[in-house]
Amino acid sequence: MAYEPAQPIAPLPVPDRLLMGPGPSNVHPRVYGALATPVPGHLDPVYLGIMDDVQALLRYAFQTGNRHTLALQATGMAGMEAVFTNLVEAGDRVLVCVNGFFGGRMCDIIERLGGEALRLEVEWGQSIDPEAVRQKLRQERAIKAVALVHAETSTGVLQPLEAIGALCREHEALFIIDCVTSLGGCPLQIDAWGVDAAYSGTQKCLSCPPGLSPMTFSPRAVEAIGKRRGRIPSFYFDLTELFKYWSEARVYHHTGPISMMYALREALRLLHEEGLEARITRHARNAALLIEQLGSLGIAPFARADVRLPSLTTVRLPPGVEDAAVRRHLLNAYNVEIGGGLGPIAGKVWRIGLMGYTSHPRNVYYLCHALRAILC
Amino acid sequence: MAYEPAQPIAPLPVPDRLLMGPGPSNVHPRVYGALATPVPGHLDPVYLGIMDDVQALLRYAFQTGNRHTLALQATGMAGMEAVFTNLVEAGDRVLVCVNGFFGGRMCDIIERLGGEALRLEVEWGQSIDPEAVRQKLRQERAIKAVALVHAETSTGVLQPLEAIGALCREHEALFIIDCVTSLGGCPLQIDAWGVDAAYSGTQKCLSCPPGLSPMTFSPRAVEAIGKRRGRIPSFYFDLTELFKYWSEARVYHHTGPISMMYALREALRLLHEEGLEARITRHARNAALLIEQLGSLGIAPFARADVRLPSLTTVRLPPGVEDAAVRRHLLNAYNVEIGGGLGPIAGKVWRIGLMGYTSHPRNVYYLCHALRAILC
């Protein structure tokens, strides 16, 4: 046959990495077991039961009673796209708080849809001041939604949500959040904090491989979708169709990504077994240990203590240290991955994740041992 | 914590189904092994090598030299959406050949994008006559593309492509095909048959779970995307971005669905080891055996012999047979899944898949044994 691969394709290489970067994090062994579980049909009653379980467990993870809670059939980035594709149409104005990479990405998507992204920008590494949001909401007319990133993976900053949620209610704007790096690892109260639309990923604090996007929508968000002037430009991300698929009607929309749904179900069962509070405490404790241990190597945190993410710690590179060379050395000699900086802080910070299964003292001690050996 | 699941969530149920419906088909044991392989970072050199391998093996599966060949980070239905989202914009006219469910879906997506779908419709179960395509291309002005389904999963019809490919070249229209149910199981020659854009799924003839969409684009298709008047409305499916991610530049676009990519790589290795020709012969031989064995039960094929799919056989329900009851009995008593009809042929046909790992004589004999016990 023509078009043969130029080189022979070897059996799958299996490096046993310790994933301490900005994600993916290490997958829990039970989740690998779920991935390797025999696949049924996507309309099989057994699989439909799996979807019900995922939905119930996601409501627990998000702390919400939202009926419209689901795992979108694509990666976390698709969650961002699905939210805006359904809630924004030509002429809609969205206030986007930008304090890192992913806020910028939101603006790109809004503009592709013909919407207007009003940027409230602060320096990378800072959090958003609710007072600034209040001023924007007062100054500008007809802001349909306020969007921000709860846990900025590019900077390690956790954004307090409650005050901004209250402002959105007051000004009748929808409150949209990206919680890719916070779900299952940081305090997150969708209902209590007045969040209307939230999306996440599976590959951070849930100890599951990347591939799905957990999402939830308040009744206000669902109502806003129902009031659109034009059609939703996407079929694949049309939430009105997806809500029918993720309800008792189970109206066929796509062939479900069955193995990934198995994996997510097991990851969420692990979260529920451990308990959200215990999980959050574990993340906080191990992040504190990391900062303490790195301190003894002369490595200091980048984000301010009061807005520091427990799932992802950014630290300043010690003077004279070569960023890429150290990370390559960690990967090749120790099988440990950590992340470099992005955008304006590239080469200035490292991003060290302790998420889900990776959030364990043994990993903190091993990384610090390796860094000591390389740097000292 | 609030929002606890109403019922306890049990360990994953594992029914060992024989998947003989319209897909997913059974997953090869080696592919399960790949799914359970430790996940590296999505920017890890090891993972980038995996992407290279997938690309090389997909070119072999598609029989193409197209540089722009990739596995899209979502299910097969997303492949359809990505093709049209990039190639169709407001005012573009696409001739869509509709002879089953998925042709209709194409029209829906084109219209959401502001394009015009000109339908060339024939009865479900028929194939498209190239002469009718020629007439349409002569009558109508400015047809940008002709789109059709190579293997209609709703009817079991295989559409001959070569003559229509030649007509598209003659009339300077792009040729777009859905090959979800044909890739890796039926003859398919992307380059030789003049196909410009093709998308498929992983869960049919490739013996891999659902979750990714293999795609390939000719230089003409890539040029057409470059000549768009407006921006691509989607970021997630923006092929200009995805081509940069799937090239040596590896420009970050999304966190790759690593475990699914592992699975696809192993599934494509299996295809390459067996060889395309041997694989296609196996599918044809087992489909013939199925038709012969069903004939001895008085069950006759629905699609005409000359356009019958080797991967999916539609058969007419014998008189007096209760569709849903028999399929439920097969599933519950024998753990065998077959598919019912859709749309105008619902209740009139069964859809029996012999795809990938499922395409084996033992499965044909077992299904016929079970049907004999239920029906006779």
Residue A216: what pLDDT?
Answer: 98
Contact B6 A56 (CB under 8 A): yes
Task: Collapse the DSSP code of A110 into the 3-class scheme (helix H, G, I; strand E, B; otherwise coil) and give the result.
Answer: helix
Alpha helices in B63-193 (DSSP H): 76-87, 101-112, 130-139, 162-170
Bridge-partner residues for A349, per DSSP?
A: A316
What are the φ/ψ torsions at residue B49 (nearest 5 degrees)? -65, -35
Q: Angle A358-A364-A370 (CA atoms, 0-180°, nearest 5)?
A: 115
- For residues A32, A35, A36, A37, the Cα torsion angle rounded to the nearest 10 degrees is 120
Residue A152's pLDDT is 96
Orientation of helix A76-87 relative to helix A219-226, angle to 10°:
60
pLDDT for the residue B63 = 98
Chain B nearest-CA distance from A138, in A, is 30
From the list A190, A196, A200, A108, the residue with the least C-alpha distance to A151 is: A200
CB-based contact B66:B217 (threshold 8 Å): yes
Q: What is the CB neighbour count within 10 angstroms for residue A139?
A: 9
Say whether residue B275 is in contact with chain A using an 8 A CB cutoff.
Answer: yes
Kindly list the residues from chain A whose CB atom is less than 8 angstroms away from the CB atom of residue B275: 1
Q: Which residues of chain B fall short of a pLDDT of 50?
A: none
Alpha helices, H only, chain A: 29-35, 45-62, 76-87, 101-112, 130-139, 162-170, 219-226, 239-245, 258-274, 276-295, 323-334, 361-375
* Three-class secondary structure of residue A116 per DSSP: strand
Structure confidence at residue B35 (pLDDT): 97
Whats the size of chain B, residue-wise? Answer: 376
Query: How many CB atoms lie under 10 A from the CB of residue B145?
Result: 24
The answer to whether the beta carbons of residues A277 and A339 sit under 8 Å apart is no
Going by the DSSP 8-state scheme, the letter that residue B335 receives in this structure is: -
Distance CA A190, CA B200 (A): 37
- Count CB neighbours of B135 within 10 A: 12
Do the beta carbons of residue A200 and residue A215 sit within 8 Å?
yes
Instruction: Retrieve residue B51's tokens.
Output: 């992407």
Tokens, residue B365: 């004999």
Residue among A4, A12, A108 with most chain B CBs within 10 A, to mutate: A12
Test B24 with A1 for CB contact under 8 angstroms. no
pLDDT at B137: 98
Domains and CATH numbers, chain B: 18-24+276-375 (3.90.1150.10), 29-272 (3.40.640.10)
The owner of tokens 């924004």 is A88
CA–CA separation, A275 and A35 (whole Å): 23
pLDDT at A14: 85
Name, in order, each residue with C-beta under 8 angstroms of B191's C-beta and a sequence gap of 6 or more.
A3, B63, B64, B65, B66, B218
Q: Does any CB of chain B come closer than 8 Å to the CB of residue A48?
A: no
Tokens of A155: 């900077």
What confidence score (pLDDT) does residue A247 get? 96
A13 touches chain B (CB under 8 A): yes
Residues of B in contact with A251 (CB under 8 A): none
Q: Which residues of chain A have pLDDT under 70?
A: none
Distance (Å, whole) CA A207 – CA A204 = 6
* Binary contact (A236, B65; C-beta < 8 A): no
A18 touching B (Cβ < 8 Å): no
Residue B230 at interface with chain A, using a CB cutoff of 8 Å:
no
Q: How far apart are CA A219 and CA A339, in angstroms?
A: 38
Q: Do A56 and B32 touch (CB under 8 A)?
A: no
Predicted pLDDT at A1: 81
Q: Residue A10: closest CA among chain B residues belongs to which residue?
A: B269
**ipTM of the shown complex:** 0.97
Q: Note the pTM of the prediction, 2 decimals.
A: 0.98
> Which residues does chain A have within 8 Å of residue B273's beta carbon, measured at their own beta carbons?
none
Which two structure tokens, joined as six digits, stand for A303?
């984000």
* Maximal C-alpha separation, chain B: 67
Nearest to B60 among A5, A17, A81 (CB): A5
**Do A209 and B259 form a contact (C-beta atoms < 8 A)?**
yes
B113 contacts chain A (CB < 8 A) = yes
Tell me the count of A-B CB pairs closer than 8 A: 266
Mind telling me how many Å the CA of A81 is from chain B's nearest CA?
Answer: 7
Q: Identify the DSSP state of B194.
A: T
Count the residues in chain A: 376
Q: For B261-294, what is each residue's pLDDT tens digit?
A: 999 999 999 999 999 999 999 999 999 999 999 9
Residue A257 has its nearest CB partner, among B59, B75, B81, at B75
